[in-house]
Amino acid sequence: MCGIVAYTGIKQCKNILLNGLKRLEYRGYDSAGVGILSVNHSSKIKNPVFEIKVAKEAGKIKVLEELLKDIEMQGVCGIGHTRWATHGEPTQINAHPHFDCKQKIAVVHNGIIENYAEIREELIKKGHIFISQTDTEVLPHLLEGYLKSETNGSLLVAMQKLMKKIRGSGAIVAISVEKPNEIIAGRIASPLIVGTSRDGNFLASDMPAVLDHTRLFTVINDYETVCVTRDKVKIYDSNGKLVQRNPFKVNWSIESAEKGGYEDFMLKEIFEQPYGIKETMRGRLLDGELNFEELNLTDEQIKNLKKIQIIACGTSYHAALTGKLVIEKWAKIPVEVEISSEYRYRDPIVDEGCLFIAITQSGETIDTLAAIREARGKGAKVMAVTNVVGSTVARESDSVIYTHAGPEVGVCATKTFSAQIMVMYLTGLYLSKVKGLIKQENYERIIEELKMIPNKVQIILNNAERLKKIADETYKYTCFLFLGRIYGFPMALEGALKLKEISYIHAEGYAAGEMKHGPIALTDNKTVVVGVIPQDFVYEKMISNLQEVRARNAKIFAIVSEGDKNIEKYADYIFTIPKTIEELNGILTVIPLQLYAYYIAKNLNRNVDQPRNLAKSVTVE
Q: Does 311 bind ligand G6P (CB under 6 A)?
A: no
Q: Does 350 bind ligand G6P (CB under 6 A)?
A: no
Greatest Cα pair distance, the chain, in angstroms, is: 90
Q: Which is nearer to ligand G6P, 160 or 420 (CB)?
A: 420
Q: Which is nearer to ligand G6P, 400 or 413 (CB)?
A: 413
Q: Does 491 bind ligand G6P (CB under 6 A)?
A: no
Q: Does 201 bind ligand G6P (CB under 6 A)?
A: no
Catalytic residue (choose from 2, 227, 354, 412): 2
Residue of 413, 438, 447, 577 that binds ligand G6P (CB under 6 A): 413
Q: Does 614 bind ligand G6P (CB under 6 A)?
A: yes
Give the CA distances from residue 112 to residues 290, 404, 513, in Å, rounded to whole numbers and listed in that order: 17, 9, 44
The answer to whether the beta carbons of residues 216 and 247 sit under 8 Å apart is: yes
Residue of 371, 382, 412, 571 that binds ligand G6P (CB under 6 A): 412
Residue of 20, 314, 428, 592 that binds ligand G6P (CB under 6 A): 314
Phi, then psi, of 600 in degrees rounded to 5: -65, -45
Catalytic residue (choose from 11, 307, 541, 616): 616
Stretch that binds ligand G6P, among 140-148, 408-416, 461-469, 563-571 (CB under 6 A): 408-416
Q: Does 618 bind ligand G6P (CB under 6 A)?
A: yes
Residue of 285, 411, 434, 584 that binds ligand G6P (CB under 6 A): 411
Return all residues near 377 (Cβ < 8 A) that are at least 6 apart: none
Q: Which is nearer to ligand G6P, 26 or 130 (CB)?
A: 26
Angle CA 241–246–252, to nearest 5: 135
Q: Does 138 bind ligand G6P (CB under 6 A)?
A: no
Least distance (Å) between residue 68 CB and ligand G6P: 32
Query: Which residues inside 103-122 make contact with ligand G6P, applying CB under 6 A?
Result: none
Residue nearest ligand G6P by beta-carbon distance: 314
How many other CB atoms are found less than 10 A from the CB of residue 583?
A: 20
Q: For 536-586, what is the HEC assignment?
A: CCCHHHHHHHHHHHHCCCCEEEEEEECCCCHHHHCCCEEEEECCCCHHHHH
Q: Which is nearer to ligand G6P, 179 or 318 (CB)?
A: 318
Q: Does 368 bind ligand G6P (CB under 6 A)?
A: yes
Cα separation of 60 and 435, whole Å?
44
- Edge-to-edge, what's the strand order for the sheet holding 307-312? 335-339, 307-312, 354-360, 381-386, 399-402
Burial classification of residue 307, based on how many CB atoms lie within 10 Å of its CB (0-12 exposed, 13-18 middle, 19 or more buried) = middle
Give the CA distances from residue 466 to residues 463, 471, 485, 575, in Å, rounded to whole numbers and listed in that order: 6, 9, 24, 8
Whether 2 is a known active-site residue: answer: yes
Residue of 214, 365, 527, 580 that binds ligand G6P (CB under 6 A): 365
Q: Does 362 bind ligand G6P (CB under 6 A)?
A: yes
Least distance (Å) between residue 338 CB and ligand G6P: 14
Cα separation of 298 and 302, whole Å?
6
Query: Which residues inside 227-246 make contact with ligand G6P, applying CB under 6 A?
Result: none
Q: Does 315 bind ligand G6P (CB under 6 A)?
A: yes
Cα separation of 577 and 586, whole Å?
11
Looking at the DSSP assignment, which residues form a beta bridge with residue 339? 312
Least distance (Å) between residue 418 CB and ligand G6P: 13
Cα separation of 534 and 485, whole Å?
10
Query: Which residues inside 245-264 make contact with ligand G6P, applying CB under 6 A?
Result: none
Cα separation of 107 and 333, whole Å?
45
Query: Which residues inside 9-38 make contact with ligand G6P, applying CB under 6 A?
Result: none
Task: Give the interface with ligand G6P as residue ranges (CB under 6 A).
Answer: 313-316, 360-362, 365, 368, 411-413, 614, 616-618
Residues with a known catalytic role: 2, 616
